[in-house]
Amino acid sequence: MDNKTNPAFFTSFPEDFDVAILPLLFSWPLNYSPHPVAMKAAGLLQSHLEKQTEWSHNFGLTDGLEGEIIGKMFGVLVVQTQAKQIGYLSSYSGKLAGGYHQSGFVPPVFDGLTEGSFLNLGMTDLTDINLEIKNLE
C-alpha cells in the first residue's frame, strides 16, 4: 500500500491481477459495457453487503426485516495504486443504515449534517433573511 492510498476505503482484490488486462481508456458512455474487472468488483461488493454484520438496512430483498424498505444505489471504481496494486473503492448514494458514513465506503462529497457545512451556514443565513422579511412586513 502506498502512502497516497487510504486503506480504510481501498479494497484489494483477493487474487493478483495482471495489470495488462485493465483498459487504457473508459468506454464511450452511450455504448457502455462494464469491464470484467469492474464486474468482479461489483460482485465482491454485493457479496460483502450480503455477509457483513456491522449495520442493518432493509433493501427489501429479505422478508421480515424491520424498518422501511429503502433501495440503495452502490458504485465501485477500480483503481491502481502507485505500487501497482489493483483494487476498488466502494460508495453509495444518500444514507445507508441511517447514516452517511459506513466503514469501508468512501465518504460523501457532500454531507449536509456536518457542523459548519455550506448547507447549514446557508440555511442559517436564509432563516435570518426570512425573519428580517417577516419583521419588515
Pick out the chain residues at pLDDT < 70. Answer: 1-6, 17, 110-120
C-alpha cell at 63: 422478508
Residue 68 CA to residue 48 CA, distance in Å, equals: 22
Q: 90 and 11 in contact (C-beta within 8 Å)?
A: yes
Q: How many residues does the chain have?
A: 137
Q: Estimate the share of the chain in helix, then strand, then coil, as percent rounded to the nearest 5.
A: 30, 15, 55
Strands 10-12, 74-80: pairing kind: unpaired
* SS3 track for 65-79: CCCCCCCCCEEEEEE
Phi, psi of 45 (to 5 degrees): -65, -45
3-state secondary structure at position 48: helix
Contact 22, 86 (CB under 8 A): yes
pLDDT recorded at residue 112:
63
Helical (H) or strand (E) element with 87: strand 86-92
Instruction: Note the pLDDT of residue 1.
Output: 42
In this prediction, residue 133 carries a pLDDT of: 92
